[in-house]
Structure 1
Amino acid sequence: MLVTAQNAVNNKRKDKEVVLVAGTSSSKTGKKNKKSKKGSVPQQSTGVSKNKGKAKVAADKGTCFHCGKNGHWKRNCQQYLVSLKANKEKKPLEGMSISCYVGSNGSYSSSTAWVRDTGASSHVCTSIQGLASSRVLGRNEVCLKIGNRASVAAKAVGSTSLHLDGHVLFIDRVLVLPNAYRNIISVSSLTRSGYLFDFKHDVCNIYYGNKVIGVGYLHDGLYYLRARNKTIPNTIEINTVSESIPSLKQLWHLRLGNVADDRISKLEKMGLIIPLGSEPNSTCESCFQGKMTRTPFVGQMERAKEVLELIHSDVCGPFSEMARGGYSYFIIFTDDYSRFGYVYLMKYKHESFEKFKEFKAEVEKQKGNSIKTLRSDRGGEYMSTEFGDFLKEHGIVSQFTLPGTPQLNGVSERRNRTLLDMVRLMMSYTDLPISMWGYALQTACYLLNRIPSKSVSTTPYEIWNGRTPSLKHVKIWGCPTFIKKQKTDKLETRSEKGRFVGYPSDSLGYYFYFPTEQRVVIS
């Protein structure tokens, strides 16, 4: 009896299945079985034969639930099979579970830094900007598991290229999560692609083969990678301030007024700055634009044997745009032995004589020595009777270059060119008015005295003052900063935003410029 009753139930299921597929009036069969008296058993052979016949009809004349056409079922539909195959190829991305560190917007974050995470199974970034081949994900298409076991949906997926120090790291399948603390690089994903990670103390090196392609530095328990998105336009351009994280060597390149790499290397060897690594500095487009010159004049001049034995001087100007304070000229004085230089801004060219007397009084008092020779071109400011009589009175020999040969006054010509190169480059990184070129010029002279030169074995500052200079206080010219107000009310803000524009020679501190008020203060 139990076997017979089970067979009856199976037949009833088959009848209903045939009715749903075929969609014919055979539903009456189901009604008859439903009305059968309790305990009665329908004939099995009759039910099976009828169902087989109706199933054949459904296969020949049925309607596909996927494409809507007659003559086949959904499971045999070619369109359905193609779409099913395509969905299976996407399946590794769908439903993915990623473990990463995600937090609220109110916490400390850095949307441009990239952090290496050994616990994350996929790369994560905070913005879709900079991603190549990106696509927006559907709702809950990809969910990420975070530290509190909650699930957060990713907004998009794409790929990006991180520009490292001389190398490019391509990262595929990067998920966009706007609420992430930081951009995350999955260590496990990169190791599957052949990359190796070496963690030592506060440094993590990325290897591909036997070559180091990137370095991360430990900060607040996380290894930060110095990189920027290659697909994003270079953030270090004219009239823009860089917001990305430059390499250490590039950072010092900017701090020191775009000086050459060999000078920075000398500072490393002298221990004045921290080691910056062996990677060459990235090509600086502004250096090519601002420093292009002709082939130099070939020749040698006899060098001085002591400080103040020979002073080089030259006047430059007038400039089309006056500097702040009404200055249109500047005059330089450079010591031949140490290459230590002074620069003075002037409103008029005839002020050269007064500036020389000011320079002479200061340096002779400080050095305990007298100027012996002054070398200059044949400009009218140096050949005046007043200037000549003053030099004779103090026993200073006047040397003039030959007409048409400015190369014979090469030290001054080279110093002028270097100073103006640095001024152009420093101002190209900011949106400060061109009238601030006077502060940029004085800053350039300040830096040149503290960095190595090809003409001397060490820095001009060390030869001139007898001690090693310090570069711990050096800043990027024009960088934004906040300065504490001297006097504030209880309800007012305690700081105001300004720009760093120089180093005062007569006091400690910095020069700061406030664009809205157009004033310069020392703080």
Structure 2
Amino acid sequence: MVRCDGLCYARGTVTAPFRASHNNKKVKPDVKPKAATNFKKKGKGKAKGDCFVCGKSGHWAKDCPERKDRKSANMVISEGGGTSGYGKILPTVLSVFHSPDWWVDTGANIHVGRGSSLLMGNGSLAAVHGVGTIDLKFTSGNTVQLKNVQHVPSIKKNLVSGSLLCREGFRLVFESNKCVVSKYETFVGKGYDSGGLFRFALNDMCNNHNAVNHISENDESNVWHSRLCHVNFGCMTRLANMSLIPKFTLVKGSKCHTCVQSKQPRKPHKASEARNLAPLELVHSDLCEMNSVLTKGGKKYFMTLTDDCTRFCYVYLLKRKDEALHYFKIYKAEVENQLERKIKRLRSDRGREYFSNEFASFCEEFGIIHERTPPYLPQSNGVAERKNRTLAEIVNAMLDTTGLCKEWWGEAVLTACYVLNKIPMKHKKVTPFEEWERKKLNLSYLRTWGCLAKVNVPIAKKRKLGPNTVDCVFLGYAIHSVGYRFLIVNSGVPDMHVGTIFESRDAIFFENEFPMKHTPSTSSQETVMPHEHFAPIEHNDQTPKKNPEEDNIVDTRKSKRQRVAKSFGDDYIVYLVVTS
């Protein structure tokens, strides 16, 4: 094989110019070099010959202006044999060099490799970085798929073995300055003479792809990859080390198109760096639905507003999603007044409750930057999403422990948020409550949610003869008040009815007893009754007063037949007798 630059890896005879440049021997008289070759002996400098890129003389390939503009290889990734045209898989040996052209080399064949190297025509070795599959798209529109392409970065041209093309049924006809490729009397493509070698006429559209598919030492690894149901290459390497499958050399960056298409996961979301922000500089918000279960007050959603600096969280119960703006206004007015700061940024997802024109106008009016997460990427709002998950998990545990029905999830969410604000984060030694309120924390008043409590009867309703307490279930902590919230489950006081929620601080707790644990859940037993001492958060949803004892009175069955008064005659009869 003839390679003027001495970098061809095929065996064959070497021409005089090649020998002269490497063996430093004079040319015999009967051998005439080409006129274009300006040969000089060693020690007198090197003359410039033909360029291996454009075929012109006067400059080297590395200085060719055409090479600088076209650096990508003329190839595309094969997609599992689904090529058009003449896509038979060929065991063709060629090089992969960053050049847009591919050259026919009739002297190249399957060479003997030493390790990860190939034997060149001059006896030297060239490193092979991998073997792959490449599609050549001719200007005629036909595609030829080449397999077992040797990736040799040190070679200067992309070579196609002519002998292996002929072995696979292709016909190469060299005439004049043109090379015609056909198969079964059907035209495939052509090439033209350029610098002593025939260059294929390929489509420039495939210059945008520059990759080698299935990079491995040989095809046996691909076969075993398929046999093992497309397991990852790490598992295959462990099996090879255990001598269960043949050993193979894996090049970094190896990919299987089937695995990529079938197993491709989403890219991991990198955790953001620590933000040294002041309170209210960034607020995270989100809405969450509890499986469409309504609370006793008709609430369906809960809305969280979490400060990024302190992680202090507010929770509001909502009937509809469009109430988000109303509760955000309440939150803004309260926190800005208490902390004497302004909310600068609000981060939320792309829910419609945050995308309304009213919400956008309100943020613009007060100079609040509303940051929205990218579509289908809730990880960007991770603080709010994690808060929702934590609250939902705690609510499930609380309801399961106490035996209360699912309609009480609203009270459980409020209590869970109240407690979480008094628990420090893993990267801080201070609790959110202490950072937010700037007060010393005391947890001695906390009690088990849903436990039994004996609550003292208020003085106005207490009687001298009768019980002084009522049995209640602990429902949470009073908002902006020193006290607890209770649900009456058993009462001997006429003025305190079962199912009433009220607030009190005079109670004795039995934290190991849960009165609703083994009690069947019925609507009559858990009907919420308003009370004069209770100002519930879920306002305007009060159930009218109803005495459950009236439900136990069974009405007497009455007949629907029309009643007719019966007459048995007068009790006595008076006769008037006239006598003469």
TM-score by length of 2: 0.38
Greater share of helix residues, 1 or 2?
1
Structure with more relative contact order (C-alpha pairs < 8 Å, separation 6 or more) = 1
TM-score by length of 1: 0.43
Larger Rg: 2
